[in-house]
Amino acid sequence: MGALGKRLGAVLDILKENAPYALFADVGSDHAHLACAAAREGIAKRVIAADINEKPLEKGREYARKAGVQIEFALSDGFSAIDGEPVDAAAICGMGGELTADILARSEAAKKCLLVLQPMTAQDDLRRFLYENGYEITGERFVCEAKKPYAVITARYTGKNTAYTYSDLFLGRVRPRGPEYAEYVKKVLSAAKKRLIGAPRDLDITRLIEDCQTQITNLSGMNF
């Protein structure tokens, strides 16, 4: 079967670093490519691919058959159908940050496992939810796929909220070195400049722009 792209590849790498697991759940699995890769790598005794729609699950079953791996499938709105399962690692990838946050807010299982989150949009909304609802962001990894930068966020529930600045919502509190992060910061900077046009006196946006420019300056002098 074909290799995962850089986004899901980064998610799989993080999962492998923290393996093994009793049960890994790919929540919102789409066609179960990540779940099948996790099973092929043997990172968990059980792998569940969960999706809110039956059609992706059907394609996932076919993909798993062709890949020659054994995984379980669950028709599930977020964690709803698997909240009683002993999930100790879960991934939510390819959704907006608001939807990812909503899924986490409705789940008890999410509070008991390693979370690897790959939001396509609204990373600031997801970070805000994590900071304000007892989740600790333990790492952020950045990748570029099809010339677009993406964040992969690793988090665990601790019950303790995290203090943050406005810039932390967009840049993260974990700010790595690397060309991928530099591209991510440039994207944040471009969006912030557009928002400032509609709110020229917004001090938070102004400070975010300054922080982005500082990050880009610092990163530009490094040999990657």
Residue type, 205: I
Q: Where in the chain is the domain with CATH 3.40.50.150?
A: 6-163
Q: Which CATH architecture has domain 6-163?
A: 3-Layer(aba) Sandwich (3.40)
Residues β-bridged to residue 155: 115, 137
Q: Is the pTM of this model over 0.85?
A: yes
> pLDDT tens-digit profile of 190-221?
999 999 999 989 999 999 999 999 999 999 86
Burial of 100 (0-12, 13-18, 19+ CB in 10 A): buried
Q: Directed axis angle between helix 123-132 and helix 97-105, to 10°? A: 30
pLDDT class of 1 with cuts at 50, 70, 90: very low
Measure Cα distances from 121 to 50, 126, 170, 189 in Å. 21, 9, 11, 15
Mean pLDDT for 107-135 is 97
The C-alpha atoms of residue 50 and residue 53 are separated, in whole angstroms, by 9
pLDDT of residue 174: 87
d(CA 74, CA 68): 19
How far apart are the C-alpha atoms of 105 and 108, rounded to whole Å? 8
Is the pLDDT at 31 greater than 70? The verdict is yes
Res. 13: pLDDT tops 80: yes
